[in-house]
Chain A
Amino acid sequence: MIGLWSVPLLFALPLALGILSLLVTPAWRPRLIFVGLPLLVAASADVLAQLVLEGPRIYRLGDWEAPLGINLVADGLAVGMILMTTLVASLCALYARVYLRDYPASSSFFWPLLWLLWAGMNGIWLAEDIFNLYVGLEVMGLAAVGMVALRATPQALAAAMRYLLAALLGSLAYLLGVALLYATYGTLSMAGLQEAASPNPTTHVALALIILGLLLKTALFPLHAWLPPAHGGALTPVSALLSALVIKGSFYILMRIWLVLGPEVTPVFTAQLLGVLGAGAVFYGGWMAWRQHQLKQLVAYSTVAQIGYLFLFFPLVTGTGPEAARLAWDGTLMMLLAHALAKAALFLSAGNLILAVGSSQISHLVGISRFRPMSLFSFGLAGVSLMGLPPSGGFTGKWLLLHSAILSGQWWWLIVLFLGGLLSAAYIFKVFRMSFREGPQIDRSITPPLTLDVTALILASAAILIGLTAHLPLFWLRLGSPFGAG
């Protein structure tokens, strides 16, 4: 029987915990994770087991048929995202429990928001119709804005305000697109759209609105301006959650809709344009990251750059052969997973380094390698994956994308991958250079609690390991997708 319940449990449970955490006293709120995390891990594991044993499935909530009830789809892609969320969010929660002891005021609101965010994300991963995707997007976005505001400094509030405007504008545009599609085809379900959608002006306007809204939410260059202050200025566990998971939500929706509408509706021109914007993000984000003086701002701009790689998916999958398209799918998802793990690790270890020196300036890290080797090691492992150097998830993803670009004859994307890798090496090694320097401003560092170092190290190691064992996750992710091998 648990099989039937684990899928709805994945968003019902975080919602319930969110409400529960508002009912208990603030001191009890962090402790709820000891109930919530094991249950969510078990549910995720169960969903994976069902996927592997019985293949992708559709769940009807309350056994109502589609127009009335809500359908949930647990295919390889959805399950992959769920596992990613469970792993990253659980470790961030464990980190936050220790980290937020210094921020008692923020802590009491962090926990309800975390559960809400989790429910929103799981809702997005599982939704089968474009309206429920909107609901998930809205829930996730509002929770994320609330988390940015937790610090309650004027800068944090300004950043949260900007984020709120971007998020609302983005979901509004998306909702308009959804409404247009519904008016035209009379269906909201993915399966229905796949059958009905045809290239006509209305569909294209709807697609344009959906794309615009989601680009704004994913912070693709040049719509990225809200991201660095929001991600760089938030509390460390919040930064990690936002950069690793939240921006993936809107990208995921775009990817799903793009594939559902199919090659007849999605124009090659738009795909190339998305690729060009991605390339712009890789260059601009990398360049800006290199120019930062604050550690967390550097990491935030690195996210702007890494988002760019994901958008190479569209030109590589549209109008190319089946083999190139499959490689693009594999490569993009590998990049996405590796980035989720590595970026969370990078933010957490950056937070540890900042705690250790008591300053967020990169120039104050002089000589830190002597005192905090473990924090720096996690930072380095995560950096290896972001630079796309082997052995790491980032490298395997890059390899697959390169392969796909060569196979489809689009050599110009090779230059993006080439220069992007070198740019990210430039900003990662900027931090390292400082940490190896033997200067006068050292001999004093605070030792952060062990939990903080261990959670960062686990995430960083996972970013490396996933590259070496990519075969299996990629096989699972393909289950039930257009590129599926059964």
Chain B
Amino acid sequence: MAWNALILFGVLATSLVASAVIFLLAESRHTTRSVFNLAAAVLKLLLVGWIIRGVYQNAEYELRFTIIDGVDFILHADALGMMFVGLSSLLWLFTTIYAIGYLEKAPNRSRFFGFFSLCVASTVGIALAGNLFTFLLFYELLTLSTYPLVVHRGTRESLRAGQIYLYYTLGGGALLLFGVVALHVLVGDTEFVPGGVLSGLDPALHPLLIGIFLMMVIGLGVKAALFPLHAWLPMAMVAPAPVSALLHAVAVVKAGAFGIARLVYDVYGIEFAFSLGLLGPLAVAASITIIYGSVRALAQDDLKKRLAFSTISQVSYIILGISLFGPVGTLGGLVHLLHQGLMKITLFFCAGNYAETLGVHKISELDGAGQRMPATSVAFTLGAFGMIGIPPMAGFISKWYLGIGALEAEMHWVLGVLILSSLLNAAYFLPILYRIWFRRRERLWCEEKVLGRFETSGWLLVPTLATAAFALIAGVLAGMPFSPLYWADLIVSREYLQ
């Protein structure tokens, strides 16, 4: 047990220590910093792999100490949490590699990488949190550690975006705090337990529980960019590309979606949430967000903004899956948590590559990019196909299970939402692909740079191709052990058999 707790702590500590060391290193020590950062990321990944193996074999990983009477700090590794930890630590490694290349010769790298590691530590903390208190702790830490990254460039625009980001996230965090305290008053320390802890309460309290649920979903929905709480996300795209990629496509929005999953499965319990009638409205909110995000994405000419609206839409698939009552819907939602992460980070990496190498930020300037940067463009195409849901990409698997889940839950209108949204996805991704591959370049590139031997710097290219390959493999080999689908299936069996 002691060893297991230590390993669990190690997963958190690798990025915390990395962050502290990076802050203390002088700005000019670039090589030391990079080596240390990558070593920490690799070590973390190894530890995570070890724990995933253990969780699969039903080993217990837990670390707890008392903060105040009746409130414990708990880290606990379960199947659902480890899925999110696995995703974050895998993508942390790739994004670190990418960021080293992306920020070459940029100022303030010490500050950037320090806060970047702190963000990953918070994300891992969110995933491993064993009760609502610990979750809240890391959820707020994530807000604080992402702010310096959003405003990293220090321009008027990024400071403005940072301010909007704070308005939303701090307001949401405060609402969440109330919900957490209120639940604490009702049932004491709210540990995450499959099946939830609230179903035994007096029925007279049910209206109150519905109110608390609403408050907490709003608090979490801010980070998950649920409509109408999404406005911060497109603005935050002024941040450097690795920040948009890891944090806004993966860590922050997923922290919100993951929180909603925890709330529904492990605090309220899916059956109790269903019996309170909470799932229907959640599904409607998610569906509205899916359609709204896609429609807004159509109108964007800025590549990163289009991807941002696409994120808003895609993250709500996860929430839609959570709100479908039944194991298959859950499976679809959870597996999308991983799939969307892999695909969206690929797309953001590609957008960063285009911007860094060619100076292109707008879709209308992408004509002929496929010829100049074929590898990046292939990765982009794979990611886009995945988002649309074309087999055998990972996105197809998600949509397939969501569809079947909707039928099982007898919510047929959800199918309509899925089809409409796939059409919209195609409508905003295919024109980009058309421009990349089939339009000829007639003008010079905005600011073309020659970075290394390949079409762009290897630091930028390798992570892009790696995540694209993962997104492809996750779809093609979905039936294999330890694929995202396999792991989501394991979670579902543990959640529903309680």
- In angstroms, Cα B27 to Cα A370, docked, is 9
Q: A384-B144, A402-B177, A433-B162 are in contact. Are A470 and B171 (CB under 8 A)?
A: no
- In angstroms, Cα B143 to Cα A231, docked, is 31
Q: A391-B141, A474-B68 are in contact. Are A403 and B163 (CB under 8 A)?
A: no
CB of B174 within 8 A of CB of A403, answer no
CB of A390 within 8 A of CB of B141, answer yes
Judge if B56 is at the interface, Cβ distance under 8 Å: no
Among the listed A395, A403, A406, A429, which residue makes an inter-chain contact with B166, where contact means beta carbons less than 8 Å apart? A429
- In angstroms, Cα B111 to Cα A436, docked, is 11
CB of A389 within 8 A of CB of B144, answer yes
CB of A396 within 8 A of CB of B23, answer no
> What 1/0 mask marks residues of chain B from 138 to 171 whose CB sits below 8 Å from any chain A CB?
0011011001100111111001001100100011
What are the residues of chain A within 8 A of B143 when measuring CB–CB? 389
What are the residues of chain A within 8 A of B174 when measuring CB–CB? 418, 421-422
Q: A422-B171, A433-B151 are in contact. Are A406 and B69 (CB under 8 A)?
A: no
Q: A390-B136, A422-B174, A470-B68 are in contact. Are A373 and B159 (CB under 8 A)?
A: no
Which residues of B, 52-80, contact A by the 8 Å Cβ criterion?
66-69, 71, 73
Judge if B181 is at the interface, Cβ distance under 8 Å: yes
Judge if A369 is at the interface, Cβ distance under 8 Å: yes
Q: A399-B181, A421-B174 are in contact. Are A437 and B67 (CB under 8 A)?
A: no
Tell me how far the C-beta of B65 lies from the nearest C-beta in chain A, rounded to whole angstroms.
Answer: 8
Among the listed A391, A406, A432, which residue makes an inter-chain contact with B137, where contact means beta carbons less than 8 Å apart? A391
> What 1/0 mask marks residues of chain A from 330 to 372 whose CB sits below 8 Å from any chain B CB?
1000000000000000000000000000000000000101100
CB of B185 within 8 A of CB of A437, answer no
What are the residues of chain A within 8 A of B177 when measuring CB–CB? 398-399, 402
The bracket for how many chain A residues form the interface is: 35 or more
Judge if A377 is at the interface, Cβ distance under 8 Å: yes
What are the residues of chain B within 8 A of A395 when measuring CB–CB? 137, 140
- In angstroms, Cα B107 to Cα A398, docked, is 38
Judge if A264 is at the interface, Cβ distance under 8 Å: no
CB of B170 within 8 A of CB of A373, answer no
CB of A470 within 8 A of CB of B154, answer no
What are the residues of chain B within 8 A of A403 when measuring CB–CB? 181, 184-185
CB of A425 within 8 A of CB of B170, answer yes
What are the residues of chain B within 8 A of A105 when measuring CB–CB? none
- In angstroms, Cα B360 to Cα A483, docked, is 66
Best-surrounded residue of B23, B143, B170 (most CB of chain A within 10 A):
B170
Q: A390-B136, A470-B68 are in contact. Are A407 and B185 (CB under 8 A)?
A: yes
Best-surrounded residue of B23, B67, B107, B155 (most CB of chain A within 10 A):
B67
Among the listed B73, B155, B181, which residue makes an inter-chain contact with A406, where contact means beta carbons less than 8 Å apart? B181
What are the residues of chain B within 8 A of A195 when measuring CB–CB? none
CB of A370 within 8 A of CB of B107, answer yes
Tell me how far the C-beta of B101 lies from the nearest C-beta in chain A, rounded to whole angstroms.
Answer: 22
CB of A470 within 8 A of CB of B111, answer no
A366 (CB) vs chain B CBs: closest residue: B154
What are the residues of chain B within 8 A of A328 when measuring CB–CB? none
CB of B23 within 8 A of CB of A436, answer no
CB of B141 within 8 A of CB of A436, answer no
Judge if A37 is at the interface, Cβ distance under 8 Å: no
What are the residues of chain B within 8 A of A396 when measuring CB–CB? 67-68
- In angstroms, Cα B155 to Cα A422, docked, is 24
- In angstroms, Cα B174 to Cα A261, docked, is 36
CB of B69 within 8 A of CB of A471, answer yes
- In angstroms, Cα B170 to Cα A203, docked, is 45
CB of B66 within 8 A of CB of A471, answer yes
Judge if A468 is at the interface, Cβ distance under 8 Å: yes
What are the residues of chain A within 8 A of B463 when measuring CB–CB? none
What are the residues of chain B within 8 A of A425 when measuring CB–CB? 166, 170
Best-surrounded residue of B68, B144, B148 (most CB of chain A within 10 A):
B68
What are the residues of chain A within 8 A of B413 when measuring CB–CB? none
- In angstroms, Cα B163 to Cα A432, docked, is 11
> What 1/0 mask marks residues of chain B from 157 to 199 whose CB sits below 8 Å from any chain A CB?
0010011001000110110011001101100000000000000
Which residues of B, 64-122, contact A by the 8 Å Cβ criterion?
66-69, 71, 73, 107-108, 110-111
Which residues of A, 170-216, contact B by the 8 Å Cβ criterion?
none
Among the listed B108, B136, B159, B185, which residue makes an inter-chain contact with A433, where contact means beta carbons less than 8 Å apart? B159
A437 (CB) vs chain B CBs: closest residue: B154
A407 (CB) vs chain B CBs: closest residue: B185
CB of A390 within 8 A of CB of B68, answer no
What are the residues of chain A within 8 A of B147 when measuring CB–CB? 429, 432
What are the residues of chain B within 8 A of A377 when measuring CB–CB? 23
Tell me how far the C-beta of B222 lies from the nearest C-beta in chain A, rounded to whole angstroms.
Answer: 13
Judge if A160 is at the interface, Cβ distance under 8 Å: no
Among the listed B73, B163, B173, which residue makes an inter-chain contact with A468, where contact means beta carbons less than 8 Å apart? B73
Among the listed A400, A422, A437, which residue makes an inter-chain contact with B68, where contact means beta carbons less than 8 Å apart? A400
Tell me how far the C-beta of B67 lies from the nearest C-beta in chain A, rounded to whole angstroms.
Answer: 6
CB of A436 within 8 A of CB of B148, answer yes
- In angstroms, Cα B144 to Cα A391, docked, is 11
Q: A389-B140, A422-B170 are in contact. Are A437 and B181 (CB under 8 A)?
A: no
CB of A438 within 8 A of CB of B182, answer no
CB of A437 within 8 A of CB of B178, answer no
Judge if A13 is at the interface, Cβ distance under 8 Å: no
CB of A373 within 8 A of CB of B111, answer yes
What are the residues of chain B within 8 A of A474 when measuring CB–CB? 68-69
Which residues of A, 423-468, contact B by the 8 Å Cβ criterion?
425, 429, 432-433, 436-439, 467-468
Judge if A414 is at the interface, Cβ distance under 8 Å: yes
- In angstroms, Cα B171 to Cα A422, docked, is 7
A377 (CB) vs chain B CBs: closest residue: B23
What are the residues of chain B within 8 A of A418 when measuring CB–CB? 174, 178
B143 (CB) vs chain A CBs: closest residue: A389
Among the listed A398, A400, A422, A436, which residue makes an inter-chain contact with B159, where contact means beta carbons less than 8 Å apart? A436
Best-surrounded residue of A384, A395, A437 (most CB of chain B within 10 A):
A437
- In angstroms, Cα B166 to Cα A384, docked, is 13
- In angstroms, Cα B65 to Cα A391, docked, is 14
Q: A370-B108, A406-B182, A468-B73 are in contact. Are A436 and B170 (CB under 8 A)?
A: no
B174 (CB) vs chain A CBs: closest residue: A418
Tell me how far the C-beta of A331 lies from the nearest C-beta in chain B, rounded to whole angstroms.
Answer: 9
- In angstroms, Cα B180 to Cα A390, docked, is 13
Tell me how far the C-beta of B64 lies from the nearest C-beta in chain A, rounded to whole angstroms.
Answer: 12
Tell me how far the C-beta of A419 lies from the nearest C-beta in chain B, rounded to whole angstroms.
Answer: 9
B184 (CB) vs chain A CBs: closest residue: A403
Best-surrounded residue of B110, B111, B148, B154 (most CB of chain A within 10 A):
B154
What are the residues of chain B within 8 A of A433 when measuring CB–CB? 151, 159, 162-163
- In angstroms, Cα B36 to Cα A261, docked, is 60
- In angstroms, Cα B162 to Cα A425, docked, is 13
What are the residues of chain A within 8 A of B66 when measuring CB–CB? 471
What are the residues of chain A within 8 A of B171 when measuring CB–CB? 422
Among the listed A390, A436, A438, which residue makes an inter-chain contact with B140, where contact means beta carbons less than 8 Å apart? A390
A418 (CB) vs chain B CBs: closest residue: B174
- In angstroms, Cα B69 to Cα A175, docked, is 39
What are the residues of chain B within 8 A of A370 when measuring CB–CB? 107-108, 111
Which residues of A, 380-398, contact B by the 8 Å Cβ criterion?
384, 389-391, 395-396, 398
What are the residues of chain A within 8 A of B148 when measuring CB–CB? 369, 436
Tell me how far the C-beta of A451 lies from the nearest C-beta in chain B, rounded to whole angstroms.
Answer: 18
A-B contact pairs, 29 of them (CB 8 A): A367-B154, A369-B108, A369-B111, A373-B23, A384-B144, A390-B136, A390-B141, A396-B68, A398-B177, A399-B68, A399-B181, A400-B68, A402-B177, A403-B185, A406-B182, A406-B185, A422-B170, A429-B147, A432-B147, A433-B151, A433-B159, A433-B163, A436-B151, A436-B152, A468-B67, A470-B67, A470-B68, A471-B66, A474-B68
7 further A-B contacts with Cβ under 8 Å, apart from A390-B140, A429-B166, A437-B159, are A369-B108, A370-B107, A389-B144, A403-B181, A403-B185, A414-B178, A418-B178
- Residues of chain B at the chain A interface (Cβ within 8 Å): 23, 66-69, 71, 73, 107-108, 110-111, 136-137, 140-141, 143-144, 147-148, 151-156, 159, 162-163, 166, 170-171, 173-174, 177-178, 181-182, 184-185
Pairs A-B, 9 closest by C-beta atoms = A438-B154, A390-B137, A402-B181, A436-B151, A389-B140, A406-B185, A470-B68, A471-B66, A390-B140
